[in-house]
């Protein structure tokens, strides 16, 4: 699941990290 | 862990909702009812869309890579609008993620379960929130700077013309319930904390969170809408409508992705992949 959802994982783990648009 | 009482959970969710979503129903209604000093720019045909793109591009695409902006100008109008929708969706998914973390118990869940809840919940929540920005004639965009008419969206070529009309139809039924932002905050929390998403590991823990939110939602609706005792069951029915709306939306997006020259944002690819 982690491999397939890297951005969702990142968003969940790091509140200050914006999505890399 | 200590179970927060009804009023404090409702208040906590309402505050998190106002903190994390840049647009809310109260703000949107000010724009939609013409009570602002600068009314939204109305996009109703190709000319007004082009004009709006000049005017609103920084607001619409503030976070967009500059390379994307330059290639965007050469693309057809449907592809450009599809891209705008995607960027708005990505921004809302980001907001929803922060909101989810504020739901008591969510952040303590297994990380894979958090991912699953977001994967299946964000589009249902997004379409529930989108209704706040809609009236029967159109949709508020770009933080209230623009208003795209429903007729213009319907006039696009297929399959893009099929994208928004089902959302308007849902929004009209949903808006008839006259929820306010405090109700919507709990409703969105209930959408996200849903124990029957595929592949969850700790179903019982998620069901406990869900039950507590649903319980508070029922009591909150009774006190906030004392004249409408059927509001709670009507709202639960909307959960099923939203699931159907997302299923059809995911099919349409995957169809567009296959048949059109329209790339999908990596975050949205993650969400749609193996969804239903």
- Which of B112, B115, B197 to mutate to probe the A interface, most A CBs <10 Å? B115
- Assign B262 a pLDDT band (cuts: 50, 70, 90): confident
pLDDT for residue B127: 98
Distance between CA atoms of residues B93 and B192, nearest Å? 12
How near does any CA of chain B get to the CA of A10, in Å?
10
The closest alpha carbon to B146, from B38, B250, B20, B272, belongs to B38
Q: Under DSSP, is residue B38 helix (H, G, I), strand (E, B) or coil? A: coil
Q: Is the pLDDT of residue B2 over 50?
A: no
A2 with B118: Cβ contact below 8 A: no
For residues B171-180, average pLDDT: 98
CA distances from B153 to B31, B61, B135, B143, B197 (A): 20, 19, 14, 19, 32
pLDDT for residue B76: 84
Q: Is the pLDDT of residue B195 over 70?
A: yes
Q: pLDDT averaged over chain A? A: 76
Q: What ipTM did this prediction achieve?
A: 0.85
Q: pLDDT averaged over chain B? A: 92
pLDDT for residue B58: 61
B114 with A19: Cβ contact below 8 A: no
Task: For residue B188, give the H/E element and its range.
Answer: helix B181-192
């Amino acid at each position: 699941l982690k491999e397939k959802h890297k951005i969702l994982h990142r968003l969940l783990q790091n509140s200050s990290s914006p999505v890399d648009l | 862990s200590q179970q927060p009482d009804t009023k404090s959970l409702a208040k906590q969710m309402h505050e998190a909702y106002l903190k994390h979503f840049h647009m809310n129903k109260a703000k949107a209604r000010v724009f939609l009812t013409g009570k602002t000093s600068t009314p939204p720019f109305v996009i109703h045909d190709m000319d007004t869309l082009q004009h709006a793109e000049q005017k609103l591009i920084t607001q619409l695409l503030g976070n967009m890579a500059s390379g994307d902006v330059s290639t965007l100008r050469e693309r057809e109008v449907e592809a450009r609008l599809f891209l705008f929708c995607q960027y708005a969706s990505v921004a809302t998914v980001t907001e929803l993620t922060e909101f989810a973390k504020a739901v008591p118990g969510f952040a303590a869940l297994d990380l894979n379960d958090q991912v699953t809840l977001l994967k299946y919940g964000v589009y249902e929540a997004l379409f529930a929130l989108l209704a706040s920005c809609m009236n029967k004639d159109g949709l508020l965009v770009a933080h209230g700077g623009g208003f795209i008419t429903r007729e213009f969206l319907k006039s696009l070529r297929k399959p893009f013309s099929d994208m928004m009309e089902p959302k308007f139809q849902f929004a009209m039924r949903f808006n008839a319930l006259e929820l306010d932002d405090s109700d919507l905050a709990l409703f969105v929390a209930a959408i996200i904390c849903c124990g029957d998403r595929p592949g969850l590991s700790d179903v019982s823990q998620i069901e406990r969170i869900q039950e507590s939110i649903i319980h508070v939602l029922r009591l909150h609706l009774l006190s906030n809408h004392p004249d409408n005792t059927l509001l709670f069951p009507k709202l639960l029915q909307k959960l099923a409508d939203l699931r159907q709306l997302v299923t059809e939306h995911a099919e349409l997006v995957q169809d567009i992705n296959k048949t059109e020259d329209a790339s999908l944002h990596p975050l949205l690819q993650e969400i749609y992949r193996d969804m239903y």
